[in-house]
C-alpha cells in the first residue's frame, strides 16, 4: 500500500472501525451461562468500625486486593472478552472473533469458583497485621438472574496502639548505635500496630548500621516482640532484640585498613609491570599512565582508617561510573584476619576500573523527523576521544551533512533546506573554573562542557544562514530524578545572506520579522532544570517537571558603553538581541496498567523582548501546531492569537510564530496488538505576541486570550519497538481561533464526505511519543 492509499484509509476507515469496536460486544452474554452456574460479577466490601481510624482508606484498599477471583472485565460496560470467548465456541467462529479472542478473550469466572471462607481468613490475617486484633468477617451471597456476587461485612474493633518502644540490651558496641537509632524511628507512641511498618523499621536499622561500619550486619539478626496483654486500653509494648544465634562478626564495626585502585584493570593484561602512586591514603596501581591519580582521587569518598560506610561505597561507584571513561566499576571488600575475638574488624578495599576504548570513529546515516514537520536524510561522521588529557576528559568532533523538506505543508509550498555543520565538544568530568572549587556533590560529579560549532543552511529559494555558536557551562544530576544545566556563557552569531526577492518581500511586509533575522548576535545565560519520574513504568502516578531560563543581552549594553559608546544598539559592530525568556513543561502519567495510561501535559512559555528587540530572534520564537503540539493544525498554521493570513504561502511559515505559548494535551494510551499501540487525544493551545505587530493583526495577547485557544482531537497509532517509536496521528479541529466570534466551534462533522475529510482531517507522522 503506497502513502496516498494509506492516508486515504486512515481518513475514511478509522471512524467506522471505532464504531464497530464499540457496537460489537452489545450482545447479551448471560444466554451462554450454563444452567448450573452463575456468572460471578465481583465482591462488595463493607467495613464497620468500632472507633474511627485515619488509615482506614489504605486498609480498605488492602482488603479489596484480597477479594479473589477477579470478575470478568468490562469495556464500555460490556463483557467484550467474555463475549469473544463464547463466540469462539461456535463451529465456525470467523477471523474477527478469533482475532479478538487471541488478544482480549477471557475464560468465564463463575460463582462456584469463589471460596469465601478462605477469603475471610485472609481478611482477618491482614487485619491482625494492622493491629485490628479479634476482628470478625462474614460473607453473604446475592443472586440476580444468572449472575451472582459476594458481600463481605467486616467488624473492626478498636485497634491496638503503641505504648512504649525500647531496645533491651546494653553490652556491645552495636547496642549503643541501636539505642540512638530508635530515637529517630517513625514508630511512635500512639501509632497503630502495623507489621509492614515493623519490616520497614528493620530495613532502616540495617541501612543505618551499614553506614556506621557494621559491614556484616543482616536485618534478619533483629527480632520484634510485642506485648498485647493490655486489653482494656488496647495498647501494646514493643521490644527490639538481637537473636541469640547472631554471629559475633555480624555485630562488629569494620574499619578500612587499605584502599587500592586499579585504573586500567584487565584480567588478561595485568601483571607485574605496574606503578604504584599513593595519594591521601589511597594507592593507585596501573600499567603506565591510564588516569592521573590526583584527579581520580577526587571521585573516591571511601577513606582509609574510616569505618565502612555502605552509602559512601555506593556513591563512590556512582561517581566513578559517571566519569564515562569506564566499562565496569567494581568495589570489593576483603575481611582481614580473624576478627571474632576483638572489638573491631578490618577491611581491605580494592576498586577495579575497566576502561572503555579510548578512541572511536563512527559514521551514521539517519532519517530525521523534526518537531517543525521537516524531515529528510542526514549523514553524521564523528570522532571521540574518551580520555584526552588522562583525566577522563571526553572530546568529540561531529560533522553533519543533511537535506530536509517540509512534509504535510497543506496548501502552502513545501520548504526545503540543505545543511552542513561542524561541532566540537570537550567535557571535563569535574568543575573547571578560574578559581579552584572543591565540589561537594555526593550523588554525581558536575561536568564542565565547552562547545564550539558552526552551521551553514541554505533554505532553497529564500536565503542562506551562517551561524557560529559557543557555550561554556556545567551539568549534573543532583539525584536519580533531578538534572541541572547552566551555561554562564552562551553565544550565537548569525549571518543572513543571499536573500531572494520573495524572502525580501516577506521581510518588508513584517518589520518585526526583519529585525528578528537581522539581530545577528545573541549572548547571555541559560539554565535548565528537570525533575523526571516518568521512567518508572511500575509507578501508578508519576510526573515530569522541566524549566528553562534564557537571559540574553542584559550585560552587553553596559559593555557596549565601554567598548563602543557611539552606537548603543550594536556590539563590536553587530546588532544584538535583548530578551528574557522562560518556559515550564509539566507532565503527569496515571498508569492503570503498565501499558494503559492517561498522559497529561501542560506547557507555558513567555519571551519578553526589551531594549534592542521588539520581538524574539526567529530561532527563539515559539510556534504552535504540528506533531508535537496541537495536532489538529498543521505546523505553524495556528496563531499568533486570532491572526489568519489572507492565503496560504511561504510567508506564513515565518509569520505564524510568537513570544508567548500556552498549551495543554491529554492523551489516553492503550495496547492493541504486540508492538502496535493506540491513543485517543485532545490538544489545546496557541501562541501570541507581546508587542503589537501591524503585519499580524490580532496577534497580541490580551485579556481574552482564552477565547483564542485552538482545540483539536484525534486518534493515533504507534509502532513501539522498544528502542524507537513510529507515530501516526489523525486529528480534526474542534475550535478554530481565527474564525469569526460565534463560528469558532466546529459543529458539523461529516466523516463520510470526502471533501470535508480532505479539509479537516490532519495526518501527522513523527518519531517518538509527543510527551
pLDDT at 721: 80
Query: Which tens digits make up the pLDDT trace of 668-710?
Result: 999 888 788 999 999 999 999 998 888 888 889 988 899 999 9
As a whole number of angstroms, the distance between CA 657 and CA 623 comes to 5
Which residues in 348-381 are b (16+ Cβ under 10 Å) and which e? ebbbbbebeeeeeeeeeeeeebbebbbbbebebe
Q: Please, how many CA atoms are within 13 Å of residue 2, restricted to the half-sphere of its CB?
A: 1
Q: What whole-number percentage of the chain has pLDDT above 70?
A: 87
Task: Specify which residues 521 forms β-bridges with.
Answer: 493, 576
Q: Please, how many CA atoms are within 13 Å of residue 264, restricted to the half-sphere of its CB?
A: 21
Supply the Cα-derived Rg of the chain in whole angstroms: 34
pLDDT at 11: 42
Cβ neighbors of 321 (< 8 A, separation 6 or more) are 329
β-pairing, 359-369 with 275-279? unpaired
Residue 179 φ/ψ, nearest 5 degrees:
-65, -40
pLDDT at 344: 84
SS3 track for 417-480: EEEEEEEEEEEECCCCCCCCCCCCCCCCCCEEEEEEEEEEEEECCCEEEEEEEEEEEEEEECCC
Distances (CA, A) of 673 to 198, 678, 719, 756: 43, 9, 10, 31
As a whole number of angstroms, the distance between CA 593 and CA 289 comes to 52
Please determine, for residue 616, whether its predicted confidence score (pLDDT) is greater than 90.
no
Mean pLDDT of 337-364: 85
pLDDT at 440: 63
Task: Walk across the sheet containing 275-279 and list its strands.
Answer: 275-279, 282-286, 254-262, 345-355, 326-335
Distances (CA, A) of 358 to 265, 270, 425, 428, 431: 14, 18, 16, 15, 22
Mean pLDDT of 161-176: 88
pLDDT at 613: 83
As a whole number of angstroms, the distance between CA 300 and CA 629 comes to 45
Distances (CA, A) of 640 to 33, 414, 510, 627, 711: 60, 21, 14, 18, 14
pLDDT at 98: 67
Q: Name the DSSP class of 126.
A: H
As a whole number of angstroms, the distance between CA 470 and CA 521 comes to 12
Structural domains of the chain, ranges and CATH numbers in brackets: 10-156 (3.10.20.310), 161-251 (3.10.20.310), 254-355 (3.10.20.310)
Taking a C-beta distance cutoff of 8 angstroms, is the pair 272, 198 a contact? no
Report the mean per-residue pLDDT for the chain: 85
Q: Following CA atoms 617, 622, 627, 629 in sequence, which dihedral angle do they give, to the nearest 10 degrees? A: 170
β-pairing, 161-167 with 235-242? parallel
Nine cell digits for residue 641: 492569537
Mean pLDDT of 2-31: 47
pLDDT at 21: 45
Residue with cell 498508569: 591
Q: How many CB atoms lie within 10 A of CB 690?
A: 21
Query: Which tens digits make up the pLDDT trace of 224-233?
Result: 999 988 878 8
Of 741 and 12, which is predicted with more confidence?
A: 741
Please determine, for residue 38, whether its predicted confidence score (pLDDT) is greater than 50.
yes
Please determine, for residue 51, whether its predicted confidence score (pLDDT) is greater than 80.
yes
Confidence category of residue 540, pLDDT binned at 50, 70, 90: confident
Query: Which tens digits make up the pLDDT trace of 621-671?
Result: 998 988 889 999 988 888 899 888 876 666 667 778 899 999 999 999 998
Please determine, for residue 192, whether its predicted confidence score (pLDDT) is greater than 90.
yes
Mean pLDDT of 115-135: 94
Mean pLDDT of 101-118: 86
pLDDT at 426: 97
Crossing angle of helices 173-182/195-210, nearest 10°?
130
As a whole number of angstroms, the distance between CA 222 and CA 206 comes to 9
Please determine, for residue 92, whether its predicted confidence score (pLDDT) is greater than 80.
no
Confidence category of residue 17, pLDDT binned at 50, 70, 90: very low
Please determine, for residue 5, whether its predicted confidence score (pLDDT) is greater than 60.
no
pLDDT at 12: 41
Distances (CA, A) of 615 to 178, 597, 637, 692, 771: 64, 39, 19, 10, 28
Taking a C-beta distance cutoff of 8 angstroms, is the pair 30, 86 a contact? no
Confidence category of residue 369, pLDDT binned at 50, 70, 90: low
Amino acid at each position: 500500500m503506497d502513502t496516498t492509499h494509506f492516508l486515504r484509509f486512515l481518513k475514511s476507515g478509522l471512524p467506522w472501525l471505532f464504531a464497530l469496536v464499540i457496537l460489537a460486544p452489545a450482545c447479551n452474554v448471560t444466554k451462554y451461562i450454563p444452567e448450573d452456574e452463575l456468572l460471578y460479577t465481583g465482591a462488595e466490601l463493607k467495613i464497620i468500625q468500632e472507633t474511627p481510624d485515619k488509615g482506614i482508606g489504605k486498609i480498605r484498599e488492602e482488603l479489596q486486593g484480597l477479594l479473589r477471583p477477579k470478575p470478568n472485565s468490562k469495556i464500555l460496560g460490556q463483557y467484550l472478552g467474555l463475549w469473544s470467548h463464547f463466540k469462539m465456541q461456535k463451529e465456525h467462529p470467523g477471523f474477527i472473533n478469533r482475532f479478538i479472542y487471541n488478544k482480549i478473550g477471557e475464560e468465564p469466572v463463575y460463582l462456584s469458583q469463589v471460596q469465601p471462607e478462605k477469603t475471610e481468613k485472609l481478611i482477618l490475617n491482614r487485619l491482625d497485621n494492622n493491629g485490628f486484633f479479634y476482628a470478625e468477617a462474614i460473607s453473604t451471597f446475592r443472586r440476580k438472574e444468572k449472575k451472582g456476587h459476594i458481600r463481605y461485612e467486616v467488624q473492626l474493633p478498636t485497634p491496638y496502639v503503641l505504648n512504649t518502644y525500647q531496645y533491651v540490651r546494653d553490652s556491645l558496641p552495636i547496642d549503643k548505635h541501636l539505642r540512638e537509632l530508635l530515637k529517630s524511628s517513625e514508630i511512635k507512641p500512639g501509632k497503630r500496630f502495623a507489621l509492614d511498618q515493623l519490616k520497614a523499621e528493620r530495613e532502616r536499622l540495617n541501612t543505618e548500621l551499614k553506614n556506621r561500619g557494621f559491614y556484616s550486619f543482616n536485618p534478619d539478626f533483629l527480632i520484634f516482640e510485642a506485648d498485647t496483654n493490655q486489653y482494656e486500653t488496647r495498647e501494646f509494648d514493643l521490644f527490639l532484640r538481637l537473636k541469640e544465634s547472631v554471629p559475633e562478626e555480624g555485630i562488629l564495626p569494620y574499619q578500612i585498613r587499605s584502599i587500592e585502585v586499579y585504573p586500567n584493570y584487565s584480567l588478561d593484561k595485568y601483571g607485574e609491570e605496574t606503578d604504584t602512586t599513593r595519594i591521601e591514603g589511597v594507592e593507585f596501581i596501573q600499567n603506565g599512565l591510564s588516569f592521573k591519580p590526583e584527579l581520580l582521587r577526587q571521585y573516591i569518598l571511601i577513606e582509609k582508617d574510616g569505618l565502612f560506610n555502605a552509602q559512601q561505597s555506593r556513591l563512590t561507584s556512582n561517581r566513578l561510573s559517571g566519569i564515562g571513561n569506564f566499562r565496569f566499576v567494581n568495589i570489593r571488600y576483603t575481611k582481614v584476619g580473624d576478627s571474632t575475638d576483638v572489638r573491631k574488624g578490618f577491611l581491605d578495599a580494592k576498586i577495579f576500573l575497566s576502561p572503555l576504548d579510548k578512541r572511536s570513529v563512527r559514521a551514521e546515516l539517519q532519517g530525521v523527523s523534526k518537531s517543525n514537520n521537516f524531515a529528510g536524510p542526514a549523514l553524521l561522521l564523528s570522532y571521540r576521544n574518551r580520555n584526552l588529557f588522562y583525566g577522563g576528559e571526553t572530546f568529540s568532533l561531529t560533522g553533519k551533512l543533511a537535506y530536509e523538506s517540509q512534509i504535510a505543508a497543506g496548501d502552502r509550498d513545501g520548504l526545503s533546506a540543505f545543511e552542513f555543520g561542524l561541532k566540537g565538544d570537550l567535557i571535563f568530568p569535574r568543575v573547571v573554573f578560574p578559581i579552584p572549587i572543591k565540589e561537594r556533590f555526593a550523588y554525581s560529579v558536575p561536568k564542565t562542557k565547552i562547545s564550539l560549532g558552526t552551521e551553514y543552511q541554505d533554505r532553497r529559494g529564500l536565503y542562506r544562514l551562517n551561524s557560529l555558536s559557543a557555550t561554556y557551562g556545567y551539568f549534573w544530576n543532583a539525584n536519580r530524578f533531578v538534572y541541572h544545566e547552566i551555561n554562564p556563557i552562551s553565544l550565537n552569531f548569525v549571518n543572513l545572506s543571499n536573500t531572494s526577492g520573495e524572502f525580501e518581500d516577506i521581510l518588508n511586509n513584517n518589520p518585526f520579522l526583519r529585525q528578528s533575522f537581522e539581530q545577528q548576535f545573541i549572548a547571555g545565560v541559560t539554565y535548565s532544570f528537570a525533575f523526571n519520574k516518568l521512567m518508572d513504568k511500575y509507578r501508578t502516578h508519576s510526573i515530569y517537571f522541566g524549566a528553562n531560563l534564557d537571559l540574553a543581552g542584559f550585560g552587553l549594553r553596559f559593555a557596549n558603553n565601554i567598548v563602543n559608546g557611539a552606537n548603543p544598539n550594536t556590539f563590536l559592530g553587530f546588532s544584538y538581541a535583548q530578551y528574557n525568556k522562560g518556559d515550564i513543561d509539566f507532565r503527569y502519567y496515571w498508569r492503570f496498567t503498565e501499558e494503559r495510561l492517561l498522559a497529561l501535559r501542560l506547557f507555558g512559555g513567555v519571551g519578553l523582548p526589551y531594549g534592542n528587540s521588539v520581538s524574539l530572534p526567529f530561532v527563539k520564537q515559539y510556534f504552535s501546531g504540528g506533531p508535537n503540539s496541537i495536532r489538529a493544525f498543521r505546523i505553524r498554521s495556528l496563531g499568533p492569537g486570532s491572526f489568519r493570513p489572507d492565503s496560504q504561502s511561504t510567508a506564513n511559515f515565518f509569520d505564524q510564530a510568537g513570544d508567548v505559548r500556552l498549551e495543554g494535551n491529554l492523551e489516553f494510551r492503550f495496547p492493541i496488538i504486540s508492538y502496535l499501540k493506540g491513543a485517543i487525544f485532545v490538544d489545546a493551545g496557541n501562541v501570541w505576541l507581546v508587542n503589537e505587530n501591524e503585519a499580524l493583526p490580532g496577534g497580541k495577547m490580551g485579556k481574552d486570550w482564552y477565547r483564542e485557544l485552538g482545540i483539536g482531537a484525534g486518534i493515533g497509532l504507534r509502532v513501539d519497538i522498544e528502542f524507537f517509536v513510529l507515530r501516526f496521528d489523525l486529528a480534526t479541529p474542534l475550535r478554530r481561533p481565527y474564525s469569526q466570534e460565534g463560528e469558532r466551534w466546529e459543529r458539523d462533522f461529516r466523516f463520510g464526505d470526502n471533501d470535508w475529510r480532505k479539509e479537516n482531517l490532519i495526518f501527522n507522522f513523527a518519531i517518538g511519543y509527543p510527551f
